């Protein structure tokens, strides 16, 4: 399989890097982490103007109509500078709509996402379990022409910055997979309570409590009772894209480390001239290249409509460990300054830990790979 980028994709990467290097920096990352929502409207508006929100949205819905590899290229560049906007969570909403086959929803929601007037997120995880639909307990009861939703969701990204949420609830307790349905719930709906969670890296995650939240049947995304298929396919694609974001971050960490090893002198010579340091940086390069290849293999398979579940989990397991491991090695090589919260490296190590756990930790994805192998 040819995993090389096309000329157009290389141009997209170059232009995105130029734009983000001018518009975003570590100071703004810290400011966003300290803000209430983590959302930067100025950056958001400029991303909308560039067509980033509509990159995989069909042209008939106001988008650009490109593929997953093109979107992965953007995620990689965003990962290099740690953009904290609700870009990722809204794109996850786009993936859910596209996977649902819900044509009316496509025409209504996707056009508003493409023009930047709609932000959304996906609320799936619950206190009982993160990844197993068998433990999904949020209930949706149909009465008097409406559904009443009751339950709790955890680790919902960018909920406070979003306008709408896709909430996974069970309309019937028949089996592990059947009955799960996705409901579109507006953030200001009565009975919906949003509580910020304290996070390690400053990322914006929330607990969502639904206390008899009433929604109309028209709010259902796709087919009632068949929502888990949409959720699973959406999260698989979101995971592959997150791997691209992680690749961008870990590449930047490696670049920072190599530069510092060349600039920092000890014993009248660059510390990069010591063999132990050289080998550590060489190991970084090998691990980062492997993460990139695994990630783009998974994304390319998705783009071609081929099975990619094992490749996605392989990419997530490897890239999560690589991001965490490379940043830890970088801390050691930088020495004391690398462990200071004021140093930019700290921002990347925080993000590395957050993304390692987000959308399934390594153990979960290793289990998926073993399952795909028939073990």
Encode pLDDT of 10-59 as tens digits: 999 999 999 999 999 999 999 998 999 999 999 999 999 999 999 999 99
State yes or no: pLDDT of 67 exceeds 60. yes
- How much is the average pLDDT of 247-262? 97
Q: At what angle are helices 227-263 and 68-81 packed, to 10 degrees?
A: 50
Q: 261 and 153 in one domain?
A: no
Work out the mean pLDDT of the chain and round it to a whole number. 93
Let me know whether 207 and 267 are in one domain: no
Share of the chain above pLDDT 90, in %: 84
- 275 and 186 within one domain: no
- The answer, yes or no, to whether residue 1 has pLDDT greater than 60, is no
| Residue 23 pLDDT | 95
Could you give the 3-state DSSP secondary structure of residue 83? Answer: coil
pLDDT-derived band at 175 (thresholds 50, 70, 90) equals low
CATH number at residue 256: 1.20.140.10
Question: Quick one: 255 and 344 in the same domain?
Answer: yes
> Strand pairing partners for 206?
156, 196
pLDDT, tens digit, for every residue of 221-250?
Answer: 999 998 999 999 999 999 999 999 999 999
Q: What is the mean pLDDT of residues 119-144?
A: 87
Please state the rounded mean pLDDT for residues 202-209: 93
Q: Which of 67-76, 174-183, 299-308, 329-338 has the lowest mean pLDDT?
A: 174-183
Residue 330: CB atoms within 10 Å: 24
Residue 135 is predicted with a pLDDT of 78
* pLDDT tens track for 282-314: 999 999 999 999 999 999 999 999 999 999 999
Question: Does any domain span residue 343?
Answer: yes
Same domain, 250 and 357: yes
Going by C-alpha positions, the residue among 95, 98, 109, 153 that lies closest to residue 312 is 95
Q: Looking at the domain assignment, is residue 298 inside a domain?
A: yes
Q: How confident is the model at residue 151 (pLDDT cuts 50, 70, 90)?
A: very high
178 inside domain: yes
Q: Residue 339 — pLDDT band, cuts 50, 70, 90?
A: confident
Residue where a domain stops, chosen among 169, 195, 226? 226
Q: What pLDDT, on a 0 to 100 scale, did the predictor assign at position 363?
A: 94
Does residue 115 share a domain with residue 12?
yes
Burial of 110 (0-12, 13-18, 19+ CB in 10 A): buried
What total number of domains does the chain contain?
Answer: 3
Query: Which of 119, 134, 162 marks a domain boundary?
Result: 119
Are residues 96 and 28 both part of a single domain?
yes
- Determine, yes or no, domain membership for 2: no
Same domain, 358 and 304: yes
What average pLDDT does range 273-290 have in this prediction? 96
CATH number of the domain encompassing residue 72: 1.10.540.10
Cα 267 to chain center, whole Å? 44
- Residue 123 pLDDT: 96
How confident is the model at residue 199, as a pLDDT?
Answer: 86
- With 70 as the cut, is the pLDDT of residue 141 above it? yes
Cα 62 from Cα 149, distance rounded (Å): 32
Q: By percentage, how much of the chain surpasses pLDDT 70?
A: 98
Domain boundary among 204, 226, 248: 226
pLDDT (average), residues 119-148: 88
Task: Work out the average pLDDT over 152-174.
Answer: 93
- In this structure, the answer to whether residues 264 and 179 fall within a common structural domain is no
Q: What is the pLDDT of residue 2?
A: 55
- State whether 180 and 296 are in the same domain: no
Q: Look at the block and give the residue holding tokens 């995105």.
A: 16
Give dist(CA 132, CA 126) in Å, integer: 10
How high is the pLDDT of residue 162?
97
- Cβ neighbours, 10 Å, residue 222: 18
Name the range with the highest mean pLDDT among 48-57, 82-91, 198-207: 48-57
- What is the rounded CA–CA span in Å between residue 12 and residue 222? 33
Q: What is the C-alpha separation between 157 and 170, in angstroms, rounded?
A: 21
Q: Residue 322 sits in which domain range?
A: 229-372
Do 179 and 147 belong together in one domain?
Answer: yes
> What CATH number should be reported for the domain holding residue 222?
2.40.110.10
> What mean pLDDT is predicted for residues 251-275?
94
* pLDDT score of 4: 80
pLDDT category, 130, cuts 50, 70, 90? low
Is 254 among the domain residues? yes
* Lookup: tokens for 206: 């929330």
Q: Considering the domain boundaries, does residue 242 fall inside one?
A: yes
Contacts of range 299-303, beta carbons closer than 8 Å, 24 or more positions apart: 299/68, 299/69, 299/72, 299/240, 299/241, 299/243, 299/244, 300/1, 300/3, 300/69, 302/68, 302/236, 302/237, 302/240, 303/67, 303/68, 303/69
For 333-336, the CB contacts below 8 A with 24+ separation are 333/257, 333/260, 333/261, 333/271, 333/277, 333/280, 333/281, 334/257, 334/260
- Is residue 1 a part of any domain in this protein? no
Whether 276 is in a domain gets the answer yes
What pTM does this model have?
0.95
Mean pLDDT score, 267-285: 95
**Given a cut of 90, is residue 269 above it in pLDDT?**
yes
Task: Please check whether residues 136 and 98 belong to one and the same domain.
Answer: no
What pLDDT, on a 0 to 100 scale, did the predictor assign at position 85?
Answer: 76
What is the spatial distance between Cα 257 and Cα 262, in angstroms, rounded to a whole number?
9
The strand ranges marked E within 139-277 are 139-143, 146-157, 164-170, 180-186, 192-196, 205-215, 220-221, 265-266, 269-270
Looking at per-residue pLDDT, the higher value among 128 and 169 belongs to 169
Say what angle helices 68-81 and 7-23 make with each other, to 10 degrees: 30
Q: How many angstroms separate the CA atoms of 147 and 181, rounded?
A: 11
């Amino acid at each position: 399989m040819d995993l090389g980028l096309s000329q157009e994709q290389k141009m997209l990467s170059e232009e995105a890097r130029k734009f983000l290097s001018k518009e975003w920096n570590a100071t703004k990352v810290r400011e966003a982490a300290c803000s209430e929502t983590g959302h930067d409207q100025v950056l958001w508006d400029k991303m909308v103007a560039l067509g980033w929100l509509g990159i995989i949205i069909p042209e008939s819905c106001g988008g650009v109509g490109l593929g997953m590899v093109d979107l992965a290229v953007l995620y990689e560049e965003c990962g290099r500078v740690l953009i904290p906007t609700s870009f990722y969570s809204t794109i996850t909403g786009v993936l859910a709509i596209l996977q649902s086959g819900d044509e009316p929803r496509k025409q209504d929601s996707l056009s508003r996402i493409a023009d930047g007037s709609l932000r959304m997120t996906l609320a799936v995880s619950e206190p009982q379990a993160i990844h197993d639909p068998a433990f999904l307990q949020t209930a949706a009861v149909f009465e008097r022409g409406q559904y009443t939703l009751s339950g709790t969701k955890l680790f919902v990204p960018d909920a406070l910055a979003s306008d709408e949420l896709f909430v996974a609830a069970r309309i019937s307790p028949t089996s592990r997979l059947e009955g799960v349905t996705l409901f579109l719930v507006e953030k200001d709906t009565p009975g919906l309570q949003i509580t910020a969670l304290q996070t390690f890296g400053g990322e914006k995650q929330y607990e969502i409590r639904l206390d008899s939240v009433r929604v109309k049947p028209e709010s259902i995304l796709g087919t009632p009772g068949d929502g888990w298929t949409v959720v699973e396919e959406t999260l698989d694609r979101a995971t592959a894209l997150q791997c691209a974001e992680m690749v961008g971050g870990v590449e930047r960490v490696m670049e920072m480390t190599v530069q510092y090893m060349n600039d920092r002198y000890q014993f009248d010579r660059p510390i990069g001239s010591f063999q132990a340091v050289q080998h550590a940086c060489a190991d970084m390069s090998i691990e980062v290249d492997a993460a990139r290849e695994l990630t783009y293999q998974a994304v390319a398979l998705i783009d071609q409509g081929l099975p990619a579940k094992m490749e996605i989990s392989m990419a997530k397991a490897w890239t999560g460990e690589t991001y965490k491991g490379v940043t830890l090695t970088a801390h050691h090589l930088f020495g004391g300054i690398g462990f200071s919260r004021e140093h930019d490296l700290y921002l990347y190590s925080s993000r590395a830990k957050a993304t390692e756990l987000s959308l399934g930790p390594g153990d979960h994805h290793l289990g998926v790979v073993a399952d795909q192998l028939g073990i």
